Structure 1
Amino acid sequence: MALAELVPHLPTGAGWWYEIKLDGHRTVLWRLAETVRLQARSGRDVTANWMDLAVPGMTLPPGVVLDGEAVIVVDGRISFGAVQSRAASTPARARKLAEAHPALFIVWDVLALPTGDVRGRPYVERRALMLDVLAGLPSPSPIQAVSATDDREVAQAWYESLVDTGVEGVVAKLGTSPYRAARSSSWKKVRHAETVDAEVVGFTGSAARPRNVAVRLPDGRTALSQRLGAPLAALVASYLATAGRTGRGRTAAGDPYTGVAPGLTVEVLAGTTRHPVVTVTRLR
């Protein structure tokens, strides 16, 4: 998946486009020949947790692949807690949660069309193609395009005025940028939360019930997290079920952990990164 570079301010200059950054779960939707598959950022199949998105996804043409965010609105506000609960639920529980609070899939990119891969095309072309695809869906649909503008003042107003609705920030993308499956300086994000992204390099406890995760911080140090709450532990366990092991390791403070292959990123409170134990807020 393409990733944006975290920056303190929105970039300025010609050629930048700005999108609202919503507080949900990064998801890729694959419209296959006979079904729909939803995939989390970790690569895990999460279709069973988001059947209220998979079913309407069947109205897309086969061959379409969309990148976006699964979000849930509760009492007029985007609720990350509701998303986290859904993602950590069993399929049966997820269906009950969907009845009370159905999800939306907010799309910001198209990776493939029935005619083939479009990731190499510029952002402005891909957005036009994405809007054409979504225009063909029945109305109303839970699959919707993210709001975007090429006016920085409008984007700044979004950033300042929409925080109480659950909007996490703003993403800026160069109009000429292709879709690259890596972090790119052509994509930048500004978030309200004072957090940083950290790569999970290990865990303590069992893979089925991890107590803590070991993370590599932006400065290169490794540290253990505080004990994971039940929803976070369940999501981490889902990743660990298929992730390869890399042996034993120790954090910078000397704490032992079981190493795990890269592929999972978590968000940690920036103010805790100075300490041996960090606070994980969510999976990215």
Structure 2
Amino acid sequence: MLARTVSTLPTGSGWAFEPKFDGYRVLAFHSRARVELQSRQQRILTAHFPDVAAAVAGLGDEVVLDGELVIWNAGRFDFAALQDRLRSGPRRAHTLAAATPAAYVVFDLLAHGRTDLREQPYQHRRDALEALLGRGLPPGLVLTPSTTDPAVARSWLIHHGSTGIEGVVAKRLDQTYRPGMRGWQRLRTRLTAEAVVGGVIGPLDAPRVLLLGRHDHDGQFHLVGRTTELAPAGRGAVAALLHPHTGSAHPWPNPLPSTRWGRPGPPTLYTPVRPGVVVELTVDTAIEHHRWRHPAHFVRTRPDLRIDDLTPLPGHPSAGRSGTAAAG
């Protein structure tokens, strides 16, 4: 079962709300013979998360669970640590599991024993999940919070984004589980943030995408993200303030390696600009290696701000808040 992105929480009765954590979605299968952790792409992840596999085995019952793998590190969920696990072999995975244990945040029970629960409504599955996990949670298993109170859901959106709560998922209480269908609704936590334009994709007089930078405590200018495609009005507003980069070498390579955006593909060619234009953005809470993992949305230029008015890199241990929450 998948979720489609919405701009507001649903209203009316018959809805349950759960926080969406910055993690990795997996199904956990526990039979008498073994435990298997499977990603949405049907990749088997068991060897990468021996700590979670042991926790699921500790339930004792034969089950199929749906949930999110997370790692808590330095006061927030650490998606980069999850990716490090996925790149590790079995021996290193055991070492990492001992140093930074993962947890499995469970939000659905799809089968229990020989009973397939997918045709049961969400409320029934939730009650069965609470009864199962209420007998005692092995270390490494967490029951995700759930509420029918929209005010509680909004508090998750507004007050807990700094920990890595990405938003809220809304589910109908009477809804059955349909694999592959987008039957749930997801509202992402959005933050207002600022960054410096360090380059653009497209011509300087009509930039299509902005490449965003922030300075660290040592004054180094780092790439921290990119925007979505700008609307025509946004292109004109930014272009009026941009100046081509001249003089010494630009702090970023050109082209940029595709790995900077976290997905395979050709390198990114761009037009370097003089880092001096500050822009206001809306971003979500997904931060990886001090960068916004998803494209930001351009709001407006901020000629009233200088580049040294901005705090250090987002997600940096000594950085202050980068913005305020907008729940939508």
Give the aligned partner of residue 153 of structure 1. Answer: 151
Cα offset, 1:150, TM superposition: 0.1
Conservation of the 8 A alpha-carbon contact between 2:123 and 2:174: yes
| Alignment equivalent of 1:144, drawn from 127, 142, 145 | 142
Cα offset, 1:100, TM superposition: 1.3
Secondary structure of 1:45's match?
Answer: coil
Cα shift readout 1:44-64 (whole Å, capped 9, x = no counterpart): 100000100001211224430
| Alignment equivalent of 1:192, drawn from 168, 189, 194 | 189
Give the aligned partner of residue 50 of structure 1. Answer: 49
Conservation of the 8 A alpha-carbon contact between 1:11 and 1:172: yes
Structure 1: unaligned runs, 5 residues or longer: 195-224, 237-266, 273-284
Secondary structure of 2:81's match?
Answer: helix
Q: Distance in 2 between matches of 1:5 and 1:231?
A: 22
TM-score under structure 2 normalisation?
0.59
Q: Distance in 2 between matches of 1:137 and 1:29?
A: 18
Which stretch of structure 1 is more off in the superposition, 147-156 or 127-136? 127-136
Which stretch of structure 1 is more off in the superposition, 81-90 or 108-117? 81-90
Conservation of the 8 A alpha-carbon contact between 1:5 and 1:183: no
Percentage of identical aligned residues: 37
Q: Residue 80 and residue 27 in structure 1: after superposition, are their counterparts in 2 closer, same or farther (change >3 A)? A: same
Conservation of the 8 A alpha-carbon contact between 1:122 and 1:177: yes
Give the aligned partner of residue 174 of structure 1. Answer: 172
Between structures 1 and 2, the one with greater strand share = 1
Matched, 1:73 2:99: no
The letter for the 2-side match of 1:175 is L
The letter for the 2-side match of 1:144 is V
Q: Distance in 2 between matches of 1:193 and 1:67?
A: 26
Q: Residue 95 and residue 229 in structure 1: after superposition, are their counterparts in 2 closer, same or farther (change >3 A)? A: farther
The letter for the 1-side match of 2:59 is L
1:265-276 paired onto structure 2 within 5 Å: 269=295
Conservation of the 8 A alpha-carbon contact between 1:123 and 1:175: yes
Conservation of the 8 A alpha-carbon contact between 2:158 and 2:189: no
Conservation of the 8 A alpha-carbon contact between 2:30 and 2:64: yes
The alignment's C-alpha RMSD in Å is 2.4
Larger radius of gyration: 2
Give the aligned partner of residue 91 of structure 1. Answer: 90
Give the aligned partner of residue 6 of structure 1. Answer: 5
Cα offset, 1:97, TM superposition: 1.4
Matched, 1:122 2:136: no
Q: Distance in 2 between matches of 1:230 and 1:3?
A: 24
Give the aligned partner of residue 35 of structure 1. Answer: 34
Give the aligned partner of residue 200 of structure 1. Answer: none
Aligned length in residues: 207
Q: Distance in 2 between matches of 1:231 and 1:30?
A: 29
Q: Distance in 2 between matches of 1:67 and 1:4?
A: 14
| Alignment equivalent of 1:228, drawn from 259, 271, 286 | 259
Q: Distance in 2 between matches of 1:99 and 1:149?
A: 33
Structure 2: unaligned runs, 5 residues or longer: 192-255, 266-292, 299-328
Conservation of the 8 A alpha-carbon contact between 2:122 and 2:174: yes
